[in-house]
Amino acid sequence: MSKPRLSVGSQVVIQRADLQHLLDALIKDGYHIVGPTLRDSAMSTTNWKHSPICPLAGLMNRMAAPIA
């Protein structure tokens, strides 16, 4: 069975269990992966080498409505 070919703009869903396989393949091909993290109660970015448990899951930011 042949693998489906993806075109630019295609969307796929990657299961959490498979994320590390994707990161490993990208790192092997020379890509540098940066993703979100929480640092000192603030959202920041960090280098990803291992599949993180997304620290931003369920994180919400409440803001006041703009003053007209």
- More confident position, 1 or 36: 36
If one counts the domains in the chain, the total is: 1
Summarize pLDDT for 29-56 with one digit per residue, the tens. Answer: 999 888 877 778 787 888 887 766 555 5
Q: Is the pTM of this model over 0.75?
A: no
> Could you list the residue range(s) of the whole structural domain that residue 29 is in?
16-47
Instruction: Report CA dihedral (58, 36, 46, 34) to the nearest 10 degrees.
Output: 140
Classify residue 68: in a domain, yes or no. no
CB 51 within 8 A of CB 19: yes
Classify residue 24: in a domain, yes or no. yes
Classify residue 30: in a domain, yes or no. yes
Classify residue 40: in a domain, yes or no. yes
Q: How far is CA 25 from CA 18, 20, 46, 55, 60, in A?
A: 11, 9, 19, 23, 32
In Å, how far from its chain's centre is CA 13? Answer: 12
